[in-house]
Amino acid sequence: MKNLFKLVSVTILAAFLLTSCGSVAAPQFSVNPNQTDRAIMVNGLGKVKIKPDIAYIYVGVHTERASASEAVAANNASTTNLMEALKANGIAETDMQTSNFSIWQNTPYGPDGLPAGTTYVVDNQVYITVRNLESLGKVLDSAVQAGANNVNSIQFDVADKSGALSEARKEAVKAALAQATELAEAAGVNLGDVARIEYTDGNYSYNYMGYGMGGGGGGEMASSTVPITTGQMEITANVSVTYLIK
């Protein structure tokens, strides 16, 4: 009788354990069809060359006089003439911006190590935008004739790069596809769908030219229109593309 009770107890316990186990869901595993364990990752570079249609220039007046007031007065007169000359050559007032104005004392020393006199230096620099590149040489010439004796960092650019950037991105994707196709053929596999695309902002290569001059009057330095060559700009786009392998 006692053995029968033990048997019944064991049977009930086993049934309870089986029932409990049945109520717990078994772990489920699924495979992500988009996982890129079998994939080809490539980089594509697109380049587009375009002709600049705008230029940015720093034009300045450098003046040295025996007193600060004389230096400022002389610089003001030359800078006013400069800005009037720029306006006369099609530069809008909104395309002229003062980028630097400074006054400082210059004390040179002679061979004996003693001060050789003191002068006061005034620099006034204007940042201008030239929207008509055909007139750029004439603008520079008129600026020098008006008193500018510092012209620096002529930077050519394109006002609207959206079209060129779009073309560069397309070329970058084409280049990536060509690389991936070549690799897949070499490896004896078939190229699948695109799993991932990463895009890096394009880089722009600018054309620069210097036209700097030292202190002193600049009028006699330009006897004819300054020859200007704009050349071409290069706009690039980079993409990283991951293709699945079938």
C-alpha 113/C-alpha 46 separation (Å) is 60
Tokens of 103: 């006054």
Judge whether 150 lies within some domain: yes
Lowest mean pLDDT among 13-17, 97-101, 139-143, 236-240: 13-17
- pLDDT digits 0-9 by tens, 37-82: 799 999 999 999 999 999 999 999 999 999 999 999 999 999 999 9
Q: What mean pLDDT is predicted for residues 128-157? A: 93
Judge whether 68 lies within some domain: yes
Residue 13 confidence class, pLDDT cut points 50, 70, 90: very low
The phi and psi torsions of 112 (rounded to 5 degrees) equal -85, 0
Tokens of 32: 């992500």
Judge whether 76 lies within some domain: yes
Judge whether 145 lies within some domain: yes
Judge whether 42 lies within some domain: no
- Provide the CATH number for the domain around residue 104: 3.30.70.2970
Judge whether 105 lies within some domain: yes
Judge whether 2 lies within some domain: no
Q: Is the pLDDT of residue 204 over 50?
A: yes
pLDDT at 207: 62
The tally of domains found in the chain comes to: 1
pLDDT at 116: 81
Alpha carbon 130 to its chain centroid, in Å, reads 20
Q: What mean pLDDT is predicted for residues 173-188? A: 96
78 and 147 Cβ atoms separated by less than 8 Å: yes
Q: What mean pLDDT is predicted for residues 100-128? A: 91
What's the CA angle centered on 141, arms 146 and 229, to 5 degrees? 155
Judge whether 207 lies within some domain: no
185 and 98 Cβ atoms separated by less than 8 Å: no
In terms of residue numbers, what domain contains 143? 53-159
- pLDDT digits 0-9 by tens, 72-93: 999 999 999 999 999 999 999 9
Q: What does pLDDT average to over the chain? A: 82
> The pTM is what?
0.68
